[in-house]
Chains A and B, each alone.
Chain A
Amino acid sequence: MLHLKGLGKTYKTGDVALSDVTLEVPKGQIMGLIGPSGAGKSTLIRCINRLVEPTAGAVMLGDVDLASLGKRELRRQRRRIGMIFQEYALVERLTVMENVLSGRLGYVPFWRSFLRRYPPQDIQNAYRLLDRVGLMEHADKRADALSGGQRQRVGIARALAQEPELLLVDEPTASLDPKTSRQIMRLLTEICAERGLPAIVNIHDVPLAQQFMQRIVGLRAGRVVFDGPPEDLTEAALTEIYGAEDWHAMRAGDAEQAEAEAEARARMEALA
C-alpha cells in the first residue's frame, strides 16, 4: 500500500533529519513509530503527505509517487491521506461539525466550503462519523468547548471524513491522561480494523505502542534501527533505539505512572 524508498530529509540548516528510510506498510497494518525525541518521527510522517518536503527518495502510495507531484496534483493526493495531530490541531473557533466537514475540503469547490453548503452525503457521513466517535450531541458546539479526549475524537472524525486510504497519526495521546490515551488508542485501532485502514502512528509511550501496535519501527537519528512485531521489542532492542540511559529513565517514569494509575483505580473501586 505505502512504500517508502530511500527517503531522506536534510533541513536548510544542514541538519539531517532522515536518511535512507525504506519501509513498506501493507493494507490494514497499524505500524507504531517509536524513538527518542529528535529522531525524525515527526519529519517522517510529514514527508509522506509533504507537509515537509523530502529531499531524497520516493513515497509510493499505490502507484503514485507523492514526492514528485506538482502542487495541484499533490492536493488531490492529500485527500487520500488522513492525518491526526498531537494537540488535536482543530480550528478552535469553528464548530465541531465544521471541523469534521473540513475533512472534505479537498473534494468540494471553494464556494461550497465558503458557504458551508456541503453535499448531503458528506453531511450524512459526517454525522455518522460523529456518532461513531461518540460526539453526536456536540455537533454544533465550538471546538474549544470540548475536553482534550473529545477534541482528539473530533480530530479522528475529521481525518476519516476524507475517506482516506492511509492514516498518519502524530503523537495522538501526547496531551491526554493515561486513561483517555488508552480509550483513544482503542478507538483508533478499532476504526482501522473496521475499515482495513493502514496507519502509521508516532508514539512516544512504549508500553502503549506494545499494547496496540501490530508492528513497531524504531527510529534513531533518522535511521530505522528496529523493525518487527511488538514481542521482539526486547530490552536490548530498546537500548539500541533509545540509548541506555534514556530508556531506563523512561521506564522509571512509566513504572511511576503505572503505580499512580493502579492507586487511582484502587481508590475508584473503594468508592464504588
Chain B
Amino acid sequence: MTEITHYSQVWAHRTPRKRLFMWLGWLALVALFVWCWQVMTENTIWAFVADAPRQAADIGGRMMPPRLSYLPELMVPLWDTINIATLGTLGGVIMAVPVAFMAARNTTPSQHILRPIALFIIVASRSINSLIWALLLVAIIGPGILAGIVAIALRSIGFVGKLLYEAIEETDARQIEAVQATGASPAQVVSYGIVPQVMPAFWGISVFRWDINIRESTILGLVGAGGIGLKLQASLNVLAWPQVTMILILILGTVVLSEWVSARVRHAII
C-alpha cells in the first residue's frame, strides 16, 4: 500500500439527512401538484380542450384582416381611457400621500392606531385588482367613466402608498435631525427634512403607476367602466372579430407608447 490510499474515495455532496429532506421536499411538491391538478381539472370537459386548436384556427381566421375603418370610432373611447388613467392616477396619488406618511415608521403620528390602519388600507388596495374595484363601483355608481376613474384611484393608493412609505423610511436620518436641531415644528421637519428627499422617488413612482394604469384602464370597459374596453366588450358580444383585432392592436400600441413615455420621464428624473 502506498501512502496515497489514506485519502478517501468517497465524497457526498450532501449529508444523507439533507438528501432525504430534499427528496421529501420534491416529492411533496410533486404530490401537491398532482393533487391540485386533479382537483382543478375535475370538471374540465376534455372534448373542448381537444377541440381547442381547431377553435384557435377558426378564431384566428375570423380575426384577419383587422377592420381599419373602425379606427375613427375608437378615438373617443381611447381618449376616455387615457383620461381614466390620468385622473385616476392623480386621485390615487393625492389619497396615497397622507396614507404613506401615516404608514412610515418615522413620520406616523400614532404608532398603534393610525399606522396599522394605513397598512391595512395599503394591503386591501393592493390585493384587489382594479377590475374588481370597477366591478363593484359599476354596481354602486353605475356604468361610466367615473367608476373607472375611482377604481383606478382606489387601486393606485396601495401601490403608490407602499413604495412611497418605504422611500420615506429610507430617508437619511441625519438630514432630518439637522432640521429638528433648528427647533422646527413637526410639520416643518416633514417639509424641510423629508419632502425634498422623497421628491424624486415620488415622481418616479407616480409616473410608473400612470404607465401601469394606462394598461389596466384599457380593460376596465369589460365590466362597464368606460373607455376602449367597452368597445372590446361590445365587439366580443357580437363576435365582430375583425373589430376585436383592431382594438387589440390599438391597445398594444397605446401600452407600448405609454411604457416608452414613462421610461423616458423616469430616466429624466433619476
Contacts and interface: CB of A to CB of B under 8 A. Distances in A.
Interface of A: 95, 97-98, 116, 118, 120-121, 123-128, 131, 139
Nearest to A117: B13
Most buried by A among B5, B7, B12: B7
Interface string B1-16: 0001101111111000
B7 A124 contact: yes
A91 B180 CA distance: 48
Contacts of A116: 12-13
Interface of B: 4-5, 7-13
Given A127-B7, A128-B7, 11 more contacts: A116-B12, A116-B13, A120-B10, A121-B9, A123-B8, A123-B9, A123-B10, A124-B5, A124-B8, A127-B11, A131-B7
Given A98-B13, A116-B13, A128 B4 contact: yes
A124 B9 contact: yes
Contacts, number: 27
Contacts of A124: 4-5, 7-9
B23 to A, nearest CB: 13
Report whether over half of chain A's contact residues are helix, strand or loop; otherwise say mixed.
helix
A126 B9 contact: no
B46 to A, nearest CB: 36
A139 B7 CA distance: 13
B1 to A, nearest CB: 13
Contact of B11 (A118, A128, A131): A118
Contacts of A125: 7
A123 B12 CA distance: 10
Contacts of B9: 120-121, 123-124
Nearest to A125: B7
B4 A126 contact: no
User: Lowest 10 CB-CB distances: which A-B pairs, in order?
Assistant: A120-B9, A116-B13, A127-B7, A123-B11, A124-B9, A124-B7, A128-B7, A123-B9, A127-B8, A97-B11
